Each structure stands twice: as structure tokens, then as C-alpha cells.
Amino acid sequence: MNEKFRFNRVLLKLSGEALKGAQEHGYDADAVRSVVERVKSVVDQGVEVALVVGAGNIWRGVMGRSGGMDRVNADYMGMLATVMNALCLRDFFRAAGIQAVVQCSIGMEPIAPRFNRDEAIRALEAGKIVIFAGGTGSPFFTTDTTSALRALETDCDAVLKATKVDGVYTADPFKDPAATRYAELSFDEALARQLKVMDSTAFSMCRDNDLPIIVFNFSDPDSLERILSGDTEAGTIVS
């Protein structure tokens, strides 16, 4: 345990968009490398990092609806896309000299082993990054909910939601210049003020199980380290 950090084992939720850089879809190697560098900087200091990645750079279930697809199959495609993103991140982590493993909620051998709580915790304790792929394995959920679920299962101290803004605001800061940022917020306040922190299922799971949610701006290179130290200038802590 590193005294510098307020949170020592965390689940980092990355949107699939974090991997696409300036591209419209897919991957941008520099963007992926920059994600890896940021995570590496805290792993090198002893923080245990579990990771869930979305699939917005490839596919979201909602895209299927406009094309006339069945909702369930469109969600299955979304889950498959998270597996591709997990494999991509794992290899870039390994290329940067960090041990990383993928566990998948859906049977996908030989591509990746299934989710296994004990093995995941053992890997985290050994300093490996564990990437949970395939979402929850069920349609009608999101990777936000997967993050809450896996964070609870692997005894994480917090869920870190990487976004393009440095926290939770009173209103959308891109639309309302008068919007102000919260440094810390209780679950009840967030609910009473109808602030969108994570999707409602993920939010309820964190609230019911006292798992803090941290919303921070991942494009700022130091923000991950700062927020892990409890610096609420770098993001909002909801607890």
C-alpha cells in the first residue's frame, strides 16, 4: 500500500472513444499509447488497476436500432466490440512493459479466459492490470454497470470514470458557461439534484454498496495520479 494514495485498488472505466484519438472510428495507436502511459504511471507506483473499456469507437447497441437490428443482437455486438478493445489495450500495455491480462464475461477461449474473481484478485495483487471484457455478458446493460459490478466483485476502493470533463457539474459545462464543478458530492445529493454521474443502474449499485465514483478528465496527463491522491481539483468524488 502506498501512503501517497487515497485509493489503492481501483477500477478504471474507459470509454471506447479514448482509443480512437482524432479518428472517427476504430483505433489510433498514439491515443492508445497515451492511455497506457497514464495508467502505467500509477501502476509503477503500486496502485492496483482493474480496467473496463467500452466500445463506442466501434459499436454501441443503440446504433443497431437505427439499422433495424434486434436490440439483443445489437447489444451482443457491443459486448464483442469490448473484447476487441480489451485485446488491443492488453497488447499495448505489454508493449510498454506492464503485465496485463484479459478476462471475459462470455466464453471465448482461446481468445481470453472467463472472468474468475479469485484469479483476478491474485493478478491485481501481483501488480498486473486486469481488463474485464465482454461487459456483464448480458444485453440491456452498459460498461458503466460492468465497472460497478466488477469493482465490487474485486474489492476495489473506487470506480474511476474517465471523461472529457474534470468532474460533475451543476449543468453541462459545454452548454452552460455558468455551470460550476463539484469537488465532492454525496450519492443522495447527486440523486436529489438529478446529476448524471453514471447510468442509473451503475449509480444505484455504487450507492447501495458504498463504492465511491470518481469522475475525472483523463485527457489531462496528471489527473489520474492526482485524483488517486484525493486531489478534488482533478475530479469529483461521489461517495
What b/e sequence results for 192-230 when a residue is b if at least 16 CB atoms lie within 10 Å of its CB, and e otherwise?
eeebebbeebbbebbbeeebbbbbbbbeeeebbbebbee
78 binds ligand UDP (CB under 6 A): yes
φ and ψ at residue 103, rounded to 5 degrees = -125, 135
Residue 91 near residue 125 (C-beta atoms within 8 A): no
79 binds ligand UDP (CB under 6 A): yes
Q: Which of 9, 20, 38, 60 binds ligand UDP (CB under 6 A)?
A: 60
Residue 212 near residue 206 (C-beta atoms within 8 A): yes
Nearer to ligand UDP, 48 or 75 (CB): 75
235 binds ligand UDP (CB under 6 A): no
Nearer to ligand UDP, 134 or 212 (CB): 134
Q: Considering CB under 6 A, how many residues would be counted as binding ligand UDP?
A: 21
160 binds ligand UDP (CB under 6 A): no
Pick the closest to residue 20 from 45, 48, 47, 53 (CA basis): 53
Nearer to ligand UDP, 79 or 86 (CB): 79
Which residue bears the cell 494514495? 5
**CB 72 to ligand UDP: min, Å:** 8
190 binds ligand UDP (CB under 6 A): no
213 binds ligand UDP (CB under 6 A): no
The letter for the amino acid at 58 is I
135 binds ligand UDP (CB under 6 A): yes
Dihedral of the alpha carbons of 82, 221, 180, 54, in degrees to the nearest 10: 0
88 binds ligand UDP (CB under 6 A): no
Applying CB under 6 A, the span of 22-30, 130-138, 152-160, 185-193 interacting with ligand UDP comes to: 130-138
Which residue bears the cell 484519438? 21
75 binds ligand UDP (CB under 6 A): yes
**CB 80 to ligand UDP: min, Å:** 8
- Kindly give the interhelix angle for 117-125 and 143-153, rounded to the nearest 10 degrees: 80
Nearer to ligand UDP, 136 or 154 (CB): 136
User: Per CB under 6 A, which of residues 30..59 are in contact with ligand UDP?
Assistant: 54-56
Per the annotation, binding residues for UMP are: 75, 136-143
Please state whether 185 falls in left (phi above 0), alpha (psi between -120 and 50) or beta: beta
**CB 6 to ligand UDP: min, Å:** 25
Q: What is the distance between the alpha carbons of residues 31 and 28, in angstroms, rounded to a whole number?
A: 5
Interface contacts to ligand UDP, rule CB under 6 A: 15-17, 54-56, 60-61, 75, 78-79, 135-136, 138-139, 141-146
